Amino acid sequence: MSRIAVIDGIRTPFVKYGTDFDSLSAQELGRICARELIERSAIDPSLLDEVIIGCVGQPAEAANIARVVALLAGIPQSIPAYTVHRNCASGIESAVQAVMKIRAGEGQLYFVGGTESMSNIPMYYPKKMQNIFVELSKAKTITAKLKALGKIRPKLLFNPVVGLMKGLSDPVCGLNMGQTAEVLAKEFGITRQEQDEFALLSHQRAIAAREILREEIVPVTPGPAYKTTVMDDNGPRENQTIKALAKLRPVFDRHAGTVTAGNASQITDGACMMVMGTEEKCQELGREPLGYVKAFAFAGVEPDRMGIGPAHAIPMVLKKAGLKLSDMQAVEINEAFAAQVLACLRCLESEDFTRKFGYEGFTGEIPRDILNVNGAAIALGHPVGTTGSRLILTMLKHMQRNDLKYGLVSLCIGGGQGAAVVLER
Amino acid sequence: MSVKFSEQDKIGYIEFDQPDSKVNILSMDTIQQLDGIVSGIPANKTIKALVIRSLKPNVFVAGADISEIEKIVEPDDGVKKAKAGQDILNKIEDLKIPTVALIDGVALGGGCELALACLYRVATFNPRVRIGLPEVNLGFVPGFGGTFRLPRLVGLSESLKMILSGKPVDSKKALRIGLVDRLLPNAGLDDHLDEFLKSEVLKRSKKKKYPRIKKTGIIGLLESNRWGHSVIFKKSLKSVLEKSKGFYPAPERAVDVVSKNYYMSRTEGLALEAETFGQLAVTEISKNLVHVFYLMEKYKKLSVDGAEGIEPRTVQRCGVLGAGIMGGGIAQLMAAKDIRVRLKDINYEAIAQGYKAASKVFEKAVKIRKLNAAQAHEKMAHITGTIDYSGFAQTDFVIEAVVEKMEVKQKVFKELGDVVAEDTILATNTSALSVSEMASVTKNPSRVIGFHFFNPVHRMPLVEVITAPQTSTETIVSALALVKRLGKTPIVVKDSSGFIVNRILLIYMAEAGRLLEEVGDMERIDKVATDFGLPMGPFLLSDEVGLDVGLKVMRILEDSFGDRFKPVELFDKLLEKGRLGKKSGKGFYTHGQRRDSNPEVDQILQGRGFSEIENHTMENRMIYLMVNEAARCLGEGIVDEPQAIDVGMIFGTGFPPFRGGLLKYADKVGIKHIIEQLQKFKKQYSSDRFEPCEYLIKIKEQGHGFYNKG
């Protein structure tokens, strides 16, 4: 069977919540990225079979954001588009959708990716307040109107529901994401120091990789002010020290916790887009692809231990690919939280874990020098719907630069899942 | 026959279908045909209603016959022509059976007035529907009852807006203001019309003829009493005068007519209208405006020899090099017409400036409701910036607007040749440099052409299309098609320093500079120019454009043509001080909260002995030098006819349309007189720059003007 290629890809800089991209909606970020990919890759968008884009916080004004992005980016109207949502793996899901559609014989060329503006996830009125507004709009007489207005309390007016925070909480177990990381830190006895050191490395590597990351970044000049042009990710801190990290207070468990803003991923805006297609399509277009998707896997885990997802998804995907962990020359595990990545590494190294879940032959040690070598979400940030796409793109570029055969990307997913993809060249 | 009558199911149909024409025109002949039909209707006892419609797509009736109006030389003749139209429209209005005008396209001037005479007007949802009275644009007022019926139908304020601006309304607006009674879908139009006839017209629901919609709010209040009316008339007159600066009498007269005939009987009111029409139609201003109208119609559709059978290249993606004022403006214009733009400059700061320039224009369009916010955003998204040539391989057309230096332009053209497709057209927006020299460095010079826009790009209607000897006809045809798509008017100019517009404009600027050194009163010179009808004086214009830009072009022209383009010292001194104009805050004027003359100009001029020169001498020196330069351009064959120069100067520099154009004006003044004046100046100032050129002498000797070659 023909292999499925990632032909080309690009992303915007990843920019901290509320900073340079504050004025850009998710659809606008997606549009800029998608259009630039079309321009740079010179792939005729009318050849596409479909557009599939991941997004977690879909803006109310851009329902089915994939279609909005496609139209604004100048992809012909005749090409359909749909949005996928698998929480933090939405970007991966978009690529997986393309793989499955191609395998099913539905098409040969897909535009995939993710876009997220965490700066623009709205705050909204609580349900009680909404009811008052409805009552008000239905009220015909002045007295009825006054009656409705009389129900408004300051508490209702000034305590909006923060969409972003709701999105980062699990409605089933009731924990927010940081709290799930605390669960793992305690379960595996991961120290604050370990987590901070892991975080520091992420920053150091991201700073060192600045130049090479530019290969995958399109500079963005945010409108409507058009004042500055953002060339790089603004999350990595040049002068990050272990001392500074150690000073931060735990956020999710103030008294006994170890997870801080410093050893967790940053809340970030960004988009990433790729074109995927069959090997034949690549030849037809005369293109050398970045690489191929060899296999993918999703795993389900406990919602309150969602960060452990990769520890399951990785052996599962290796099994599907028929490869060993030691075959992987580079690995990206999304750094939602340092604690969560470290927990996964411990599981993968553990014989008990391997035996318990029947993963024999597909687990083992991941050396730090092949893991997240160009920094990851603790430094670069984690625009939830986009990260999955970035992992694939960053990995393929890394494999290309270093002429690697196999690479593995994986991430944990809010709600209790793990995703993993094996890439090859 | 242009008008036919038929009957079906007790409905009479008058159908316009002018043979061998895309449109229907209310010529005197057509009016007579219409009269014959309408006169027979009272005797016809079978029909219960009358429908007037057009069989042509997208047209109802496009207006009266302008060529007939153009020929009117006696006011009485005009009155008669207007009356002939008024009489037949009165007959329609006086029919005992209900009448309906079905408007599925343009209904302008006489066409609109025909519809106004009917009891009902229905339009379609066709986006091409345009209903209006554009007569003032041609220097006269509506003559077939428009000034009488429209105010009664849609109210004073809406009708004055339409009559005084000449701007037509689309079908939605027409419905909103009560100009039409209903909008019908085009699919199954006949059925919808039947339904309308049955449910509305034949029921004779005793519809009051005027007005259709009761006005509310302040407008309603103002329109309810004579005091309010006088407020509306005063306000209208004020805004008309602000716009016309007294050069265009028609709108002013239109206010006058409406303010009187609004209170008159139909007979009196129409008589006043006809009389005013007759008086205005014979004026020189009207003749000149009609001349300009014809020029515009001709040049909008401009073609070149050998264009037959050549398919112009469709432009979907356009590359723009240089994101400065021009580059940004060009990018915006392309994006507004849904062409995708790849905007390249050397760094992202420059590109940000380009984005900003384009975005400002779109923001303005949203503000004046030309676009909604989503549309503006979508169009703005057509522009993407780059600092390399990525994306250029897919462009169909590239326009460079980089700095005006031949080495830079050539470098850019050389680079472009390597990155774009073989058949991509390469255009330069240079304002003066040689297109051929740029073309010479590309592999395929036949696809290189000049495409000269004017600042501000979104507003100035002209594009000079400059053809070098090696430019292929295919390239020219494609360039002209693009100009048309951009909604601009082209002139085709041969490759020569400064082309047409800048060359003629800068001889005037150079002379203005000399005048300033001689008389020392900048504002007076500017006023001489604006009194002539130019939109702004030379020094204010320089401030708008930027002295650096103007001076650069002047030097190029000086290099090519010698001393007559030599800039005065003052310009250099001001440039040295960095007083470039608006963009640097100060130029000849200071541009702060309010505009003042910059005292530094006086300081520079200090110590010079000033002489007194009369205003009309200053005007003549500036304008006649332009005429002389234009004659040179014709003599050199840079353009093939005087019309091209008039189009160029009117649409590229705002030369006053009521003068009919530079050369039309020269003809009126008389070539002989201009030559004499130039010779007088030559002697008086002992300068060869006033030497009348050969072409000018030649046409004088042949005894004709630039136009009317015997």
Q: What is the SS3 string spanning B284-305? A: HHHHHHHHHHHHHHHHHCCCCC
- Which of the four pLDDT bands, split at 50, 70 and 90, describes residue B207? low
Query: What residue type is A306 in one-letter code?
Result: M
| Same structural domain, A295 and A412 | yes
Model confidence over A223-273: pLDDT tens digits? Answer: 999 999 999 999 999 999 999 999 999 999 999 999 999 999 999 999 999
* pLDDT at residue A2 in the model: 81
Residue bearing the bigger pLDDT, A151 or B671: B671
Residue type (1 letter), B460 = M
Q: Are residues A141 and A16 in the same domain?
A: no
In a domain, A177, yes or no: no
Cα–Cα dist A336/A91, whole Å? 15
Contact B380/A at CB under 8 A? yes
Contact A221 B355 (CB under 8 A): yes
Q: Is the dihedral of CA A206, A212, A218, A224 positive or negative?
A: positive
Mean pLDDT of the A179-198 span = 96
Please give the share of chain A, as a percent, with pLDDT higher than 90: 88
Backbone phi, psi, residue A226, to 5°: 50, 45
**First CA to last CA distance, chain A:** 16
Write out the two tokens for A355: 């035996």
Kindly give, in sequence order, each residue whose CB lies less than 8 Å from that of residue B595, ignoring residues fewer than 6 positions away.
Answer: B589
Helix (H, G, I), strand (E, B) or coil at B122: strand
- Least confidently predicted of A367-381, B3-17, B596-610, B646-660: B596-610
Classified as helix, coil or strand, B105 is: strand
- Return the residue of A nearest to B351 by Cα: A221
- Partners of B390 on chain A (C-beta within 8 Å) are 39-40
The answer, yes or no, to whether the previous bond of A59 is cis (omega within 30 of 0) is no
Nearest-5° Cα angle at A299, A294 to A300:
165
Single residue among A101, A134, A159 that ends a domain in this structure:
A159
How many other C-beta atoms can be found within 10 angstroms of the C-beta atom of residue B597? Answer: 15
| Closest by CA position to B53, among listed B177, B201, B189 | B189
B367 touches chain A (CB under 8 A): no
Beta-bridge partner residues of B606:
none
Structure tokens at B76: 């009485």
Same domain, A152 and A62: no
Going from the C-alpha of B484 to that of each of B194, B202, B478, the distances in angstroms are 39, 46, 10
B203 band by pLDDT with thresholds 50, 70 and 90: confident
The reported pLDDT for the residue numbered A117 is 97
The whole-number average pLDDT for the span A350-370 is 97
Catalytic residues of A: 88, 382, 412
Domain total of chain A: 2
SS3 B539: helix
Verify that A76 and A141 share a domain, yes or no. Answer: no
Distance CA B545, CA A228 (A): 27
Chain B hits for A35, CB-CB cut-off 8 Å, are 381, 384
Q: What confidence category does residue B351 fall into, taking pLDDT thresholds of 50, 70 and 90?
A: very high
CATH label of the domain that carries residue A55: 3.40.47.10
User: Cα dist. B325→A203, A229, B220, B589 in Å?
Assistant: 41, 19, 45, 21
pLDDT band (50, 70, 90) for residue B210: confident
Nearest to A35 by CA among A118, A101, A115: A115
Q: Is residue A363 part of a domain?
A: yes
Stretch A11-17: mean pLDDT, rounded? 97
- In Å, how far is B317's CA from the nearest CA of chain A? 10
Q: Show which of A159, A179, A212 is a domain's final residue.
A: A159
Same-domain pairing of A90 and A143: no
Do B555 and B502 form a contact (C-beta atoms < 8 A)? no
In the predicted structure, residue B206 carries a pLDDT above the cut 80: no
Give percent above pLDDT 70 in chain A.
100
Residues of A with CB under 8 A from a CB of B: 28, 31-32, 35-36, 39-40, 42, 44, 71-74, 219, 221, 223-224, 226-229, 231
Is B69 in a helix, a strand, or coil?
A: helix
Helix crossing, A26-41 with A65-72: angle to 10°? 50
In a domain, A386, yes or no: yes
The answer to whether residue A359 is domain-embedded is yes
Mean pLDDT, rounded, for A180-191: 96
Angle (CA) A84-A87-A88 rounded to 5° is 115
A168 found inside a domain: no
Average the pLDDT over B294-320 and give the result: 93
Spell out the SS3 assignment of chain A. Answer: CCCEEEEEEEECCCEECCCCCCCCCHHHHHHHHHHHHHHHHCCCHHHCCEEEEECCCCCHHHCCHHHHHHHHCCCCCCCCEEEECECECHHHHHHHHHHHHHHCCCCCEEEEEEEEEHHHCCEECCHHHHHHHHHHHHCCCHHHHHHHHHCCCHHHHHCCEEHHHHHCECCCCCCEHHHHHHHHHHHHCCCHHHHHHHHHHHHHHHHHCHHHHHHHECCECCCCCCCCCECCCCCCCCCCCHHHHHHCCCCCCCCCCCCCCCCECCCEEEEEEEEEEEHHHHHHHCCCCCEEEEEEEEEECCHHHHHHHHHHHHHHHHHHHCCCHHHCCEEEECCCEHHHHHHHHHHHHCHHHHHHHCCCCCCCCCCHHHECCCCCHHHHCCCHHHHHHHHHHHHHHHHHHHCCCEEEEEEEECCCEEEEEEEEC
pLDDT at residue B208 in the model: 64
Contacts of B348 in chain A (CB under 8 A): 219, 221, 229, 231
Minimal C-alpha gap between A29 and chain B (Å): 11
Residues A397 and A295 occupy one common structural domain: yes
Q: Which of B326, B472, B339 is nearest to B396 (CA)?
A: B339
Closest Cβ–Cβ partner in A40, A72, A221 for B381 = A72
Ramachandran assignment for B453, one of left (phi > 0), alpha (psi -120 to 50 degrees), beta (any other) = beta
Asked if B349 has any chain A CB less than 8 Å from its own CB, the reply is yes
Q: Do B394 and A39 touch (CB under 8 A)?
A: yes
Chain B residue numbers touching A73 (CB-CB < 8 A): 381
| Structural domains for chain B | 3-282 (3.90.226.10), 317-495 (3.40.50.720), 502-701 (1.10.1040.50)
The 10s digit of each residue's pLDDT in B29-85 is: 999 999 999 999 999 999 999 999 999 999 999 999 999 999 999 999 999 999 999
B370: which residues sit within 8 A by CB, 6+ positions away?
none
Per residue in B352-396, pLDDT (tens digit) is: 999 999 999 999 999 999 999 999 999 999 999 999 999 999 999
For A101-126, how does the pLDDT look when each residue is reduced to its tens digit (9 = 90+)? 999 999 999 999 999 999 998 888 88
Write the single-letter amino acid at B148: F
Q: Which domain holds residue A344?
A: 4-120+267-424
Q: Which residue is closest to A30 within chain B, CA to CA?
A: B381
| Of B102, B101, B88, B84, nearest in space to B39 by CA | B88
| pTM metric for this prediction | 0.92
Q: Are residues A42 and A81 in the same domain?
A: yes
Task: Report the distance separating Cα A380 and Cα A335, nearest Å.
Answer: 10
Assess whether A375 and A398 both reside in one domain: yes
DSSP letter for B445, please. G
What is the complex's ipTM, to 2 decimals? 0.91
- Decide: A195 and A378 in contact? Cβ < 8 Å: no
Is the predicted pLDDT of residue B205 greater than 80, yes or no?
no
Query: A73 and A37 in one domain?
Result: yes
Question: A290 and A406: one domain?
Answer: yes
Ramachandran class of A124: left when φ > 0, alpha when ψ lies in -120 to 50, beta otherwise:
beta
Neighbours of A234 (CB within 10 A): 18
* A74 within a domain of the structure (yes/no): yes
* A8, A114: one domain: yes
User: Does some domain include residue A233?
Assistant: no
Task: Kindly state whether residue A283 falls inside one of the protein's structural domains.
Answer: yes
| Residue B314: partners with Cβ closer than 8 Å, 6 or more residues away | B396
Single out the residue in A159, A182, A208 at which a domain terminates.
A159
A23 and A113 assigned to the same domain = yes
Cβ pair A39:B353 closer than 8 A: no
Average pLDDT over residues A398-421: 97
Preferred mutation among B383, B384, B388 to probe A, highest tally of A CBs within 10 A:
B384
% helix, strand, coil for chain B, step of 5: 55, 15, 35
